[in-house]
Chain A
Amino acid sequence: MANYIATGITVSFGTLSGEILDVDRANDEVEAQDVTHQTSSNEWREHSATNALKQAGAFTLLAHWGGTIPAVGTTDTITVTMPDGGSESATAILQSAGGFSGKLGQKITTEMTFLNTGAPTHA
């Protein structure tokens, strides 16, 4: 087993630059189908993932306000490099960006979400 502290994570996506705080990636999901039928045993539902569509989990970043953020709708490759040197990349659309949070006496932050399109790559 290994464990890591979330410091030193880097993210690249087009012209994105700035001071990144939190990096979150949602789980990949599969649209498993309910294939329960009259004779399913013991009254338990059955599901099948055969040929089911999959959605790669979105990336969400929290950053200090003041960096450079590409326009929403930009499609590019997002690559997240983890503290151990491993990486996660995917073609992604910058789906949500441009807002900010300016709470009194706290650092101003901005959040952005990247919608994956196609399969992600783990390296």
Chain B
Amino acid sequence: MTTLADALQLYLSGQPSLGAAGARVLQDTLDQDTPLPAVLIRAPDETGGHHQTAADGLVEARIQVDAWAATKTDAARLQNELRKLLDGKPRGTLGGSGQTIEIEGIHVENRYLHDHAGDEASDSNDFQAILELTIWYRESVPDL
């Protein structure tokens, strides 16, 4: 089964506009020694829809995609390239290498920058530019 995060990772990986970060599109956690820039896809929060007699097969997912870079400018630039690849993407197929899902659309809902230099709980001086997305996608309907 291809998850939304898998499909998103496959779609973003190797995108020329992401530059070096295109080779470092990861899920869930960024290892301490991961070179930057990099893209991190977080686990989504997903809600399925229904009609009177079954699930309707449409999922509304909220998912976060982070652009990590060594400078604020680079993080913002990478975030902007991610936005251009994702925001407003219409109905179609997302993924690659035989692992795809059918999406109904993608909206960027929120974006902001996290400066870890001022974070006492972190020993990182890196920058994290966050995109919060809503992605609607199709899943199989349980045959009950």
Are B52 and A8 interface neighbours, CB within 8 A? yes
Tell me if B's interface is mostly helix, strand, loop or mixed.
strand
Interface size grouping (class) on chain A: 10 to 19
Q: How far is A107 from B16 in the complex, measured between Cα atoms in Å?
A: 33
In the complex, B53 has a CB within 8 A of chain A: yes
Question: Is the CB–CB distance between B49 and A107 below 8 Å?
Answer: yes
Shortest distance from the beta carbon of A97 to any chain B beta carbon, whole Å = 17
Within 8 A of B (CB), among A7-24: 7-10, 19-21, 23
**Cα separation A23 to B52 with both chains bound (whole Å):** 9
Which residues of chain B are near A10, meaning CB under 8 Å? 52-53
In contact, A64 and B52 (Cβ under 8 angstroms)? no
Max chain A C-beta neighbours (<10 A), residue from B51, B54, B58, B134: B51
In the bound assembly, the distance between CA atoms of A107 and B52 in angstroms comes to: 15
**A64 in contact with B134 given A19-B56, A105-B107 (CB within 8 Å):** no
Query: Is B116 positioned at the interface, with any CB of A under 8 Å from its CB?
Result: no
Residues of B within 8 A of A19 (CB): 51-54, 56
How far is it, in angstroms, between the C-alpha of A55 and the C-alpha of B48 when the chains are bound? 39
- Chain B residues 80-119 with CB under 8 Å of chain A are 105, 107
Contact B58 A107 (CB under 8 A): yes
Tell me if A8 and B49 are in contact (CB < 8 A): no
B52 touches A9 (CB 8 A): yes
Q: Is the CB of B50 within 8 A of A7?
A: yes
**Chain A: minimal CB distance from B1 (Å):** 23
Question: What are the interface flags for B44-83 relative to A under an 8 Å C-beta threshold, 1 for contact and 0 otherwise?
Answer: 0000011111101010000000000000000000000000
**Pairwise interchain contact A105-B56, C-beta atoms closer than 8 A:** no
What does the 1/0 interface line of B30-51 toward A look like (CB < 8 Å)? 0000000000000000000111
Q: Which residue of A lies closest to B54 (CB)?
A: A19
Residues on the B chain within 8 Å of A105, using CB: 105, 107, 134
Task: Enumerate chain A residues within 8 angstroms of B51, measured Cβ to Cβ.
Answer: 19-21, 63-64
A residues 82-106 in Cβ contact with B at 8 Å: 105
A64 to B141, CA, bound (A): 15
Contacts of A20 in B (CB 8 A): 51-53
Q: Contact residues of B with A, CB < 8 Å?
A: 49-54, 56, 58, 105, 107, 134
